[in-house]
Amino acid sequence: MAVLADDQVMVLDEAAILAVWDSVAQRSPQRHACLGSCASQLESAEVTRRISTEKAMAAMVASMNEVAFLDEGQVERLLEAEAEALNMSILENR
């Protein structure tokens, strides 16, 4: 950690500190709104990703059932690990 030199230290009186705090407090609603917007966009993207992933998995199961020598239940069990990994990815991104 670097040592602070005298010219790197800011000295403020109480009024200046309160002014800085007021400035920060005024920006808080803007930042809150920005973060809320970002969160809703991420949620929308996650819903879109989940829907497209579900469709892709359903199509993959159908394709594998058409060409597989296993029965439908066995194919679905093989794909269960992949579906679980996708679900964990969705949960981790929340």
Indicate whether 85 belongs to any domain: yes
Indicate whether 29 belongs to any domain: yes
Q: What is the count of structural domains for the chain?
A: 1
Q: Residue 13 is encoded by which pair of tokens? A: 């009186």
Q: What is the total residue count of the chain?
A: 94
Selection from 59, 64, 63 nearest residue 78 by Cα: 64
Indicate whether 30 belongs to any domain: yes
Which residue did the predictor score with more confidence, 22 or 4?
Answer: 22
> For 16, how many CA atoms within 13 A lie in the half-sphere containing its CB?
4
Contact 57, 78 (CB under 8 A): no
Residues 19-31: tens digit of each pLDDT: 888 888 888 888 8
In one-letter notation, the amino acid at residue 83 is: A
Residues 71-80: tens digit of each pLDDT: 778 888 878 8
Cβ-Cβ contacts under 8 Å for 66 (sequence gap 6 or more):
none
Could you tell me the residue range of the domain that residue 81 belongs to? Answer: 14-92
